[in-house]
């Protein structure tokens, strides 16, 4: 098996629903994408489009009453499962694993790590940073406590924290926002994961620190060839970090493609509208920025057909509002869920 042309992670028709008294929320509705070794994949979209639920589904940490109702999450764990190593590089469907079972817990944190959106809430305030790093290392690696402490100090040093020997004894509330974020990155990288998921890691920090964190992630990714899924609503961050982009809206994938093609040759009307709403240095002063008309539909009153058609400027009556388009290739590099490009194929 060629590990460079075979995906590390393959998500197929993933559906994660929340069954509430008021109705069913289809937070993720038929999402499919691949992540290859060493690749940086950006998932972008408005708040509420299902980005975070998608990565929680991959990690199997979806809160109740949410549950995965369909699809596959195929992952290639590095560790050998068979007596003669036959388990290595074979896909494991994470959906079929017990979310609290031994195999899933051995993958979560060790091979798939998460940088959460808010490190202040992720770190326990009653334990030192070092205690929490050491606990994660001891859980997934066969080392002594002293060796785990040395690994933790080395990871803190690698992410650029000054005086890691002293910082390891600090509590999270004693650190600035930027240092807390670096400590969280150190924890995520403590077990050398093959896939790193960053859920809006620059949301709660200032612009200068944001640039430092992004440069740090890019540098670490290039050094270790770690695959990264980068979740954000900031298209500027996607342009800087990602090599491949997935555009989501209302739980579905609207468009996928390489970052340069998405930014310079967008295909889906939603992607075009998103890019037009970004301010530019060439923008004329004292003029209103273009906006996407309307708002995201309420989860309990999803439109029939294409989820974006009520806000779409290229809406086709009796087509877009009657059938849901599937994600299909538009050209050699990009795919889009839009009847503008493959209505005939949908008819077939």
Greatest alpha-carbon pair distance for the chain in Å reads 69
In a domain, 148, yes or no: yes
Look at residues 111, 158, 109, 112 and name the one whose alpha carbon lies nearest to residue 132: 109
Rounded CA gap, 212 and 202, in Å? 10
- Return mean pLDDT, the chain: 85
CA distances from 66 to 25, 49, 112, 311, 344 (A): 9, 15, 21, 28, 36
Write down which residue in 135, 160, 190 finishes a domain.
190
**Under a CB-based contact definition with an 8 Å cutoff, are residues 164 and 156 in contact?**
yes
Q: Looking at residues 19-36, what average pLDDT do you find? A: 91
Which stretches does DSSP call E strand in the chain?
9-20, 23-35, 40-44, 66-75, 92-93, 112-115, 195-199, 227-232, 244-249, 252-258, 328-329, 335-336
**Under a CB-based contact definition with an 8 Å cutoff, are residues 328 and 335 in contact?**
yes
In a domain, 297, yes or no: yes
Neighbours of 8 (CB within 10 A): 25
Rounded CA gap, 306 and 295, in Å? 15
CA distances from 158 to 152, 206, 290 (A): 10, 21, 42
Write down which residue in 162, 190, 218 finishes a domain.
190
At 344, is the pLDDT very low, low, confident or very high (cuts 50, 70, 90)? very low
pLDDT confidence of residue 204: 66
**Which residue intervals of 159-231 are DSSP H helices?**
164-167, 177-188, 207-224
**Under a CB-based contact definition with an 8 Å cutoff, are residues 273 and 292 in contact?**
yes
pLDDT confidence of residue 41: 95
In a domain, 72, yes or no: no
In a domain, 136, yes or no: yes
Quote the percentage of the chain above a pLDDT of 70. Answer: 92
**Which residue intervals of 66-198 are DSSP H helices?**
102-107, 119-122, 129-140, 145-158, 164-167, 177-188
pLDDT confidence of residue 341: 83
Residue 287 burial by Cβ neighbours in a 10 Å radius (0-12, 13-18, 19+):
exposed
Q: Looking at residues 40-56, what average pLDDT do you find? A: 90
Q: Looking at residues 2-19, what average pLDDT do you find? A: 85
At 189, is the pLDDT very low, low, confident or very high (cuts 50, 70, 90)? confident
**Which residue intervals of 189-298 are DSSP H helices?**
207-224, 235-241, 259-264, 269-276
Q: Is the pLDDT of residue 3 over 60?
A: no
Q: Is the pLDDT of residue 14 over 90?
A: yes
Rounded CA gap, 94 and 83, in Å? 21
Q: Is the pLDDT of residue 34 over 90?
A: yes
Rounded CA gap, 45 and 310, in Å? 17
Q: What is the pLDDT of residues 164-186, one digit of tens each?
A: 888 889 888 888 878 888 888 88
Q: Is the pLDDT of residue 195 over 90?
A: yes
Q: Tell me what percent of the chain is helix, strand and coil, each rounded to the nearest 5.
A: 35, 20, 45
Q: What is the DSSP string of 261-316?
A: HHHHS--SHHHHHHHHTS--TTSPTT-PPP--SS-PPPTTSPPSSSTTGGG-TT--
pTM (predicted TM-score): 0.86
Q: Is the pLDDT of residue 104 over 70?
A: yes
Rounded CA gap, 226 and 37, in Å? 7
Write down which residue in 153, 173, 190 finishes a domain.
190
Cα-Cα-Cα-Cα torsion 105, 106, 109, 110, nearest 10 degrees, comes to: 180
Question: Based on the structure, what is the number of domains in the chain?
Answer: 2
Q: Is the pLDDT of residue 231 over 60?
A: yes
Neighbours of 127 (CB within 10 A): 13
pLDDT confidence of residue 75: 94
At 342, is the pLDDT very low, low, confident or very high (cuts 50, 70, 90)? confident
**Under a CB-based contact definition with an 8 Å cutoff, are residues 274 and 235 in contact?**
yes
Rounded to the nearest 10 degrees, what angle do helices 145-158 and 129-140 cross at?
120
Domain range enclosing 286: 266-347
Q: Looking at residues 265-281, what average pLDDT do you find? A: 85
Q: What is the pLDDT of residues 279-337, one digit of tens each?
A: 766 667 777 777 788 788 887 888 888 999 988 888 888 888 888 898 989 989 999 99
Partnered with residue 329 across adjacent β-strands are 335
In a domain, 239, yes or no: no
Q: Is the pLDDT of residue 346 over 60?
A: no
Whether residue 65 is preceded by a cis peptide bond, meaning omega within 30 degrees of 0, is yes
**Under a CB-based contact definition with an 8 Å cutoff, are residues 184 and 197 in contact?**
no
């Amino acid at each position: 098996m060629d590990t460079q042309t075979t995906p590390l992670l393959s998500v197929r028709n993933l559906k994660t629903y929340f069954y509430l008294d008021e109705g069913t929320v289809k937070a993720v509705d038929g999402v499919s994408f691949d992540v290859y070794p060493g690749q940086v994949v950006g998932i972008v979209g408005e708040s509420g489009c299902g980005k975070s639920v998608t990565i929680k589904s991959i990690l199997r940490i979806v809160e109740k009453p949410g549950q995965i109702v369909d699809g596959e999450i195929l992952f290639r764990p590095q560790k050998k499962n068979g007596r003669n190593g036959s388990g290595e590089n074979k896909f494991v469907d994470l959906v079929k694993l017990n979310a609290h079972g031994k195999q899933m817990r051995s993958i979560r944190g060790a091979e798939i790590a998460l940088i959460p959106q808010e490190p202040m809430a992720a770190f326990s305030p009653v334990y030192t940073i070092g205690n929490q790093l050491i606990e994660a290392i001891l859980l997934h690696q066969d080392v002594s406590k002293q060796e785990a402490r040395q690994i933790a100090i080395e990871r803190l040093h690698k992410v650029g924290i000054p005086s890691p020997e002293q910082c390891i004894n600090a509590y999270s509330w004693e650190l600035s926002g930027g240092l807390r974020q670096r400590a969280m990155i150190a924890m995520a990288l403590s077990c050398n994961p093959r896939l790193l998921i960053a859920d809006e890691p620059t949301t709660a920090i200032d612009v200068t620190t944001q640039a430092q964190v992004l440069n740090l992630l890019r540098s670490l990714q290039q050094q270790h060839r770690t695959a990264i899924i980068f979740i954000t609503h900031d298209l500027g961050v996607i342009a800087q970090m990602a090599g491949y982009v997935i555009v989501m809206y209302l739980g579905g994938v609207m468009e996928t493609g390489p970052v340069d093609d998405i930014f310079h040759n967008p295909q889906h009307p939603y992607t075009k509208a998103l890019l037009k709403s970004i301010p530019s240095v060439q923008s004329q002063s004292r003029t209103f920025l273009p906006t996407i008309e309307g708002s995201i539909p309420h989860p309990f009153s999803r439109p029939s057909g294409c989820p974006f058609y009520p806000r779409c400027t290229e809406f086709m009556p009796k087509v877009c509002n009657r059938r849901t388009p599937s994600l299909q290739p538009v050209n050699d590099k990009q795919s889009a869920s839009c009847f503008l490009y493959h209505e005939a194929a949908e008819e077939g």
